[in-house]
Amino acid sequence: MIRLENVSKEYKNGVHALRDINLTIEDGEFVYIIGPTGSGKSTLIKLLDGEEIPNSGTVMVENINVGKLKHSKVPVYRRNIGVVFQDFRLLPRMTIFENIAFALEVIGMKKVDIRRRVREVLELVSLQDKAKAFPDELSGGQQQRATIGRAIANHPKVLIADEPTGNLDPQMSAEIMDLLEKINEVEHATIVMVTHDSTIVDRFKKRTICLEEGYVIADIMKGGYLKHE
């Protein structure tokens, strides 16, 4: 469960990114976070994965107070959450298999277990036949599937996707959405997806949280993109 209580974040340069946010996301939920550029979406993600500390309020993820974590405990906490980025961030010199395995090596998993889990993940994201390919040999959609695979390899309880369809055409975006829904079901991961893409929000209806200028201006359970009059 993710719970934000009275969370405010102001950067050192005076920008108020978030103002008094209260939010609860239950286990296994799939939520969109929408809003214009500069509305605080990225800051919200940074608070969730422990990169930033709120100025006030508490950020609780899986009963861990993220803002109060010691520096040395942040990496261990991060193993609970997977992050997917708009720009993929795959390591270009590694194959897809190695890229996913890398995430598991880093946390010291045994080689045999790594191999088994990577195969499992490749199957889940339908990239079995691309295991030995390098990232630049894949299409954007395939690369994004690979990063999703890397993010979920460690069975995270929360998957954060930062505009995962931002660089993809509508058909590929739909593929990614299908994959995320599958992960939501199969891996029982809570999914927090930041997006700009109104067609996706309208087509795959889910709880939608709308941020603007650091405030939550709408929290719509039935989904659909907010229309500005």
Per the document, the length of the chain is 229
3-state secondary structure 116-157: HHHHHHHHHCCCHHHCCCCHHHCCHHHHHHHHHHHHHCCCCC
Specify the residue, 14 or 108, whose C-beta has the smaller distance to other proteins.
108
* Helix, strand, or coil (residue 9): strand
Sign of the dihedral defined by the CA atoms of residues 47, 48, 50, 56, in that order: positive
Smallest distance, other proteins to C-beta of residue 100, A: 10
Smallest distance, other proteins to C-beta of residue 74, A: 5
Q: Which residues bind other proteins (CB under 8 A)?
A: 49-53, 71-72, 74-79, 82-83, 89, 91, 102-103, 105-108, 110, 150-151, 154
Specify the residue, 95 or 208, whose C-beta has the smaller distance to other proteins.
95
127 near 146, Cβ under 8 Å?
yes
CA–CA gap between residue 110 and residue 153 (Å, rounded): 14
Specify the residue, 71 or 222, whose C-beta has the smaller distance to other proteins.
71
Specify the residue, 44 or 83, whose C-beta has the smaller distance to other proteins.
83
Smallest distance, other proteins to C-beta of residue 79, A: 4
Smallest distance, other proteins to C-beta of residue 175, A: 23
Burial classification of residue 77, based on how many CB atoms lie within 10 Å of its CB (0-12 exposed, 13-18 middle, 19 or more buried) = middle
Smallest distance, other proteins to C-beta of residue 102, A: 7
CA–CA gap between residue 193 and residue 207 (Å, rounded): 11
CA–CA gap between residue 199 and residue 36 (Å, rounded): 15
* Helix, strand, or coil (residue 215): strand
Specify the residue, 192 or 216, whose C-beta has the smaller distance to other proteins.
192
Smallest distance, other proteins to C-beta of residue 223, A: 28
Specify the residue, 77 or 134, whose C-beta has the smaller distance to other proteins.
77
226 near 198, Cβ under 8 Å?
no
